[in-house]
Amino acid sequence: MTTGDLFADQQPVDDARIVLGPASFVLRGFALADAPALLAAVEAIAQRAPFRHMVTPGGFEMSVALTNSGSLGWTSDRRGYRYAAQDPLSNQPWPPLPDVFLRLARDAAAEAGFPGFTPDACLINRYVPGTRLSLHQDRDEQDYSAPIVSVSLGMPAIFLFGGHKRADKTQRVPLFHGDVVVWGGPDRLRYHGVAPLKEHPHPLLGAQRINLTFRKAG
Ligand code: MD3
Ligand code: FE
């Protein structure tokens, strides 16, 4: 028996990266040092573009609250999902991407093999205990060759990483404060979601989880 068999049910580790798929990596703690600056920037963004519960085209209110930063922001209503340059609550542009966001997204993407990543959108999701995100694909962006970079802050969550079909088996990946995940190439359109959050209060954020996802939407 090889050590590969012994650890067959573990994720393979390559330095501090956990390999989720052919082009998907967890960078454990990559954003830890920047977390206070990232959270201060989120607060400033939320003063101009408050967190809100979007309504899906099917008429359901999402349990996750969200806002956006960048030249494009993701929105949803009865008419569908789309990226828009203006916040529909204010009819003003979304707050621009702060330097600390841009630098972290670019550095994390480069670390995972995607040099030159320049996002134009950051979706900011806010979870409280019991909140979940059901399995979905992210397909509202123009260019699937760009990766998505995600930053987890606050309470831990179980990320569900599926395959290319909704019914494919999902891997359960715990994500902690400061973790960064990069998804690209052949993994870009895989189904994914977040299991209902358990209450594990975090020193900086209390009973909340904030997730930033950086995208090239336009
Ligand atoms: C894998 N957010 O906002 S981020 C989303 O933790 C979203 O808030 C989750 O899914 C969260 O759409 C997960 C990670 C993520 C984002 C996009 C992906 C993983 C992805 C696209 C393809 C594959
Ligand atoms: Fe998603």
- Ligand 2 centroid, distance to 182 Cα (angstroms): 12
Q: Is residue 87 part of a domain?
A: yes
Q: Does the residue 140 lie in any domain?
A: yes
Q: Is residue 42 part of a domain?
A: yes
70-103 pLDDT tens trace? 999 999 999 999 999 999 999 999 999 999 999 9
State how many domains the chain has. 1
99 inside domain = yes
**Which of 213, 214, 216 gets mutated to test ligand 1 (max ligand atoms within 8 A of its CB)?**
213
Nearest CA to ligand 1 atom 4: 150
Whether the pLDDT of residue 9 is over 60: the answer is no
Q: What is the CATH number of the domain that holds 211?
A: 2.60.120.590
Q: Is residue 1, in this structure, part of any structural domain at all?
A: no
Is this model's pTM higher than 0.85 or not?
yes
8 part of a folded domain: no
Whether 147 is in a domain gets the answer yes
Strands (E), the chain: 13-14, 17-21, 24-27, 65-70, 73-77, 80-84, 86-87, 92-93, 121-127, 133-136, 148-154, 157-161, 171-175, 180-183, 192-194, 209-215
Instruction: Establish if 112 belongs to a structural domain.
Output: yes
Give the pLDDT confidence of 23-76 residue by residue, as tens digits: 999 999 999 999 999 999 999 999 999 999 999 999 999 999 999 999 999 999
* Position in ligand 1 atom list of the atom nearest CA 161: 1
For 3-77, strand residue ranges (E) read 13-14, 17-21, 24-27, 65-70, 73-77
- Cα gap 170→132, rounded to integer Å: 15
Q: Which domain holds residue 150?
A: 18-215
